Structure 1
Amino acid sequence: MMAIRFVELCQALMITDPIFYVFAVPATLLYGLSKGGMGGGLGLVAVPMMALVISPSQAAAILLPILCVMDLFAVWGFRGVYDKANLRIILPASLLGIGVGAATYQYLSDDHIKLFVGLIALVFALNWVLQQLRGRPPEAKPVSKIAGWIYGSIAGLTSFSVHAGGPPINMYLLPQQMNKTVFVGTTVIFFTVVNYVKLIPYAWIGLLDSSNLMTSLALVILAPIGVRLGMYMHHRINEGLFYWVCYVLLVAAGGKLMYDGLMGLIQ
């Protein structure tokens, strides 16, 4: 009897529309693939996909606890592999961005953020692709405090708003042409810290209500599955191909964010 009542309570608190899960399940798995090392662009698909059936803010709120669980599996999978010099710069910068995002939550339009991030991601990635096609690959860039603070703070802001911190961080780290596993391990540490810090303002704003949390609980079983699939694919893909995948996904993600932002502003 108590078990039945618990199930009924869960159904009352969580989203039960089956159409929602048609979009939410693949969106969650795609984010897991991204966390497992298959490029940050994959994760950007999740919020827009879920936003087809619920509001973007609710989609972000449902995903955040799931991302926090994914982060634990990803940290274990890439344990001990990261770039300390970069993390010392971009982590403090991201906290600044999260603070700005929380302070301006009621005034900053998601559509403006999507348009801004999409534009810079698209220009950056297309420039790299054109250089590759011309046979003039760019030289590896060194760690930069100025660039790290700029992109790190933007990543904190956009991650807070629409979980779109991947493009800014990719734009900072990819030109350094580090080993692909070190690259992924660095982003894993970065977003683990960012996502757990985001729990505080999300709870303060009221986004982590009982309905969203119970829906997160229903989807969280997909977290380890998606991450493991991503890690499996990461260790079986050529490094040159890996960077091509990352940049192509950055183009796709940038285009998608620009489109969503423009459509939102037009409507």
Structure 2
Amino acid sequence: MDFAFWFAAALATFFVGMSKGGLPMVAMLGVPILSIFIAPAAAAGLLLPMYILADCYGIYLFRGSFSARNLCILIPATAIGILLAFLFISRIPVPATKLLVGAIGLGYLIDALRKRLRQDFRAKPADVPRGLIWGALAGFTSYVSHAGGPPFQAYTLPQKLPKMTFAGTATILFACVNWMKLPPYILAGQVTLNSLSQIAVLAPLALLGAWSGFRVTKWLPEKVFFTLVNAALLAVSVKLLWEGATGWS
């Protein structure tokens, strides 16, 4: 491995950590950066243990800031989605999943814009039926293409949670999702002893990124924070729609 790979791996690892510190808008950068040098599946496998390591620190950072009701609904729902993805992964074209997730994110943003133009600012409370559907989609798409964010955001953003509660809920939920994804990733050969040796070198950057992300999240004004979240959701959605539309060849 040359210097360019290690620089890209270090940068991707730092961004992974920042996303677990409360800045989900940078999570989309990790796999694409590494995919310049290695296959996307290998990049996802290399970064998954980094997510898990940063998750542990993220859970500590947000131990007092999360929505228990949302977690009680979403954790079982994401487990269902991961199980379905594991059982049917060979029958589901990845481009189709990307199109679905991109459409979900874009659909939410269009609906949010429509409500803003109508000046409809009412918060929508957490509820079990919607939570089970969106949570299962988040687990399913996270397993297939590391794209669980848009379904999660489509469910939680309308609740208008405080920024630290939103960030903490996301961090703790996807920590659980990543732990549930680890055994099938090992079975698929995406996490190997070789990747674990690379992870040992990069681990401090994941923790530094998580700490940095937490500090920036606390510092950002709430309106700016959610503007960035929505901007990131738009970018991820457009990226997934493009990849889905061009990935059938």
Q: TM-score range by the shorter chain?
A: over 0.9
- Length-normalised TM-score, structure 2: 0.93
Q: Distance in 2 between matches of 1:41 and 1:125?
A: 15
Which stretch shows the higher mean deviation, 82-91 or 51-60? 51-60
Q: Distance in 1 between matches of 2:19 and 2:191?
A: 23
The one-letter code matched in structure 2 to 1:246 is V
Preserved contact between residue 16 and residue 50 of structure 2 (Cα < 8 Å)? no
Equivalent position of 2:77 in the other structure:
93
Equivalent position of 1:195 in the other structure:
178
Preserved contact between residue 129 and residue 247 of structure 1 (Cα < 8 Å)? no
Say which of 219, 232, 235 aligns to 2:218: 235
Equivalent position of 1:216 in the other structure:
199
Equivalent position of 1:31 in the other structure:
16
Query: Max radius of gyration: which structure?
Result: 1
Preserved contact between residue 47 and residue 162 of structure 1 (Cα < 8 Å)? no
Residue 48 of structure 1 and its aligned partner are, at CA, apart by: 2.5
Q: Distance in 1 between matches of 2:198 and 2:110?
A: 37
Preserved contact between residue 71 and residue 169 of structure 2 (Cα < 8 Å)? yes
Q: Distance in 2 between matches of 1:212 and 1:106?
A: 24
Q: Distance in 1 between matches of 2:190 and 2:55?
A: 20
Preserved contact between residue 35 and residue 227 of structure 1 (Cα < 8 Å)? yes
The one-letter code matched in structure 2 to 1:167 is P
Preserved contact between residue 138 and residue 152 of structure 2 (Cα < 8 Å)? yes
Preserved contact between residue 41 and residue 166 of structure 1 (Cα < 8 Å)? no
Runs of 4+ in 1 over 6 A off after TM superposition: none
Q: Distance in 1 between matches of 2:144 and 2:238?
A: 18
Q: Distance in 1 between matches of 2:78 and 2:118?
A: 35
Residue 137 of structure 1 and its aligned partner are, at CA, apart by: 4.6
Structure 1 residues 21-170: aligned runs within 5 Å: 21-38=6-23, 40-129=24-113, 131-132=115-116, 134=117, 136-170=119-153
Unaligned runs of 5+ in 1: 1-15
The alignment partner of 2:65 has SS state of coil
Which stretch shows the higher mean deviation, 214-223 or 170-179? 214-223
Q: Distance in 1 between matches of 2:7 and 2:64?
A: 36
Per the alignment, do residues 235 and 99 of structure 1 end up closer, same or farther by CA in structure 2, a change over 3 Å counting?
A: same
Per the alignment, do residues 153 and 33 of structure 1 end up closer, same or farther by CA in structure 2, a change over 3 Å counting?
A: same
Preserved contact between residue 126 and residue 251 of structure 1 (Cα < 8 Å)? no
- Length-normalised TM-score, structure 1: 0.87
Counting matched residue pairs gives 249
Q: Distance in 1 between matches of 2:9 and 2:110?
A: 30
Per the alignment, do residues 127 and 229 of structure 1 end up closer, same or farther by CA in structure 2, a change over 3 Å counting?
A: same
Preserved contact between residue 78 and residue 140 of structure 2 (Cα < 8 Å)? yes
Equivalent position of 2:246 in the other structure:
263
Q: Distance in 2 between matches of 1:24 and 1:129?
A: 37
Q: Distance in 2 between matches of 1:110 and 1:242?
A: 31
Equivalent position of 1:20 in the other structure:
5
Residue 135 of structure 1 and its aligned partner are, at CA, apart by: 6.7
The one-letter code matched in structure 1 to 2:163 is K
The alignment partner of 1:81 has SS state of coil
Unaligned runs of 5+ in 2: none
Preserved contact between residue 135 and residue 152 of structure 2 (Cα < 8 Å)? yes
Q: Distance in 2 between matches of 1:104 and 1:52?
A: 29
Residues 147-177 of structure 1: CA deviation (Å, up to 9, x unaligned): 1011101111111122211111111111000
